[in-house]
Structure 1
């Protein structure tokens, strides 16, 4: 089984990484959370827009999809298998930084199987890398609706909520992140990134004791995921109660 996407974001500094297996990409923060109004897209633009832009299909697009599905039916034992194949290729393109190609492959994976969580997950990552924060939330939320107990996916969506809070300061983003993390930790408290995101959540709530507590839980689980810049921010507000970080 393919490993999940994992992300750890120190939202008060420009550091973000999504990883699928060893597939990494990075992006910095932006201050624009507006969703651009939908416009008429030609077929080339639709291919590299999440879920083909979610607009009515043209006859040209329908013809292309029929041909594609027919070819896949000849080459794979099932469309589910074909969908997994294209999702795997998409993660590879994402690792290389080829966002448009990755997006198109994830779209094809979704076309073949609209229950493939990897497709929504990947499109969420692509959207984040494009600094389309709201689209990232929407795509990851679609994945969570299919796999509501997928801990890494829940934590990834919480990261996007925390990102949106860092940009907008809307309390509802923190509340949603808190609910996601509460559920994730109830399933698996040993998932390090869940603990790190809880540290960040409590930092934003100015609950510094709790922030330190979750940060230490995270570091004992996986020190390699620790963001030392965030540690410095936390230390500036409150010294480490355990004295581990001087």
Structure 2
């Protein structure tokens, strides 16, 4: 088993080294979600097969191998090494295209890059597999909310706000203690000018996780209506 794992990482290192050989004009597909959806050459397909065969010999199932590379990907993601993380997520996806977490990860990455419509597409793929995952639902709601706010600045009128409400409601139905969804619902109520309700949801979110508070939004809400509970005060 140890020798087989070493073989997997050797293949890993060879591909990682090739990152540096790519130019800025031609990003390496390995660091793009789902390998950039670019058709692979015969040589790349052979490399994929060698990788899959190595994993088949090293892990009990491809699902187990997929989760292994997802875990490594999250480690790099949390360290801010996004390209390296995406490569691991891609390997996890290659091993198990039905792993909802791979699409969720791609959604988080593209959201962080400001590619809102693309992130929504990946979240939708994840939700097609796990439709009642509250955190996934709240993340797609966040993408739709960011898209809605961007459209407002450009005076565009689209139906993104309905999507925000829809997915946030589903997230709270799946888990009423989801702090992310509670904060997003607070912003929904703010958009609807229902400031008392906005405060109610904000406080519910604060009780679950105070670290998630958006202080720019908090300032805007206080400008419309003082905190009924007196917990937050303008200086």
Q: TM-score, normalised by structure 2?
A: 0.82
**Equivalent residue in structure 1 for 2:100, among 88, 112, 117:** 117
Distance in 1, Cα, partners of 2:181 & 2:113: 24
Does the CA-based 8 Å contact 1:102-1:126 persist in structure 2? no
Q: Report how far residue 226 of structure 1 moved.
A: 2.2
Distance in 2, Cα, partners of 1:186 & 1:129: 26
Q: Report how far residue 83 of structure 1 moved.
A: 0.2
Does the CA-based 8 Å contact 1:196-1:218 persist in structure 2? yes
Distance in 2, Cα, partners of 1:130 & 1:229: 20
Q: Report how far residue 211 of structure 1 moved.
A: 1.1
Q: Report how far residue 45 of structure 1 moved.
A: 1.8
1:244 counterpart = 2:231: yes
Cα-Cα RMSD: 1.7
Distance in 2, Cα, partners of 1:216 & 1:161: 22
1:167 counterpart = 2:154: no
Q: Report how far residue 153 of structure 1 moved.
A: 0.9
Larger fraction in helix: 2
Q: Report how far residue 171 of structure 1 moved.
A: 4.1
Rg larger for: 2
Distance in 1, Cα, partners of 2:215 & 2:108: 23
Q: TM-score, normalised by structure 1?
A: 0.78
Instruction: Determine the structure 1 residue equivalent to 2:82.
Output: 99
- Deviation sequence 1:68-114 (CA, Å, 0-9, x none): 10111111111000000000001111111111111111111011001
CA gap 1:140/1:66 in 2 versus in 1, 3 angstroms: same
Instruction: Determine the structure 2 residue equivalent to 1:217.
Output: 204
Distance in 2, Cα, partners of 1:192 & 1:171: 27
Distance in 1, Cα, partners of 2:185 & 2:88: 33
- Of 65-74 and 184-193, more deviation after overlay is shown by 184-193
Give the secondary-structure state (helix, strand or coil) at the position aligned to 1:244: coil
Larger fraction in strand: 1
Write out aligned runs for 1:130-149 (5 A): 130-149=113-132
- Matched residue count: 205
1:70 counterpart = 2:58: no
Instruction: Determine the structure 2 residue equivalent to 1:183.
Output: 170
- Deviation sequence 1:109-150 (CA, Å, 0-9, x none): 011001111111111112122222222111111111111110
Runs of 4+ displaced beyond 6 Å: none
Instruction: Determine the structure 2 residue equivalent to 1:228.
Output: 215
1:195 counterpart = 2:166: no
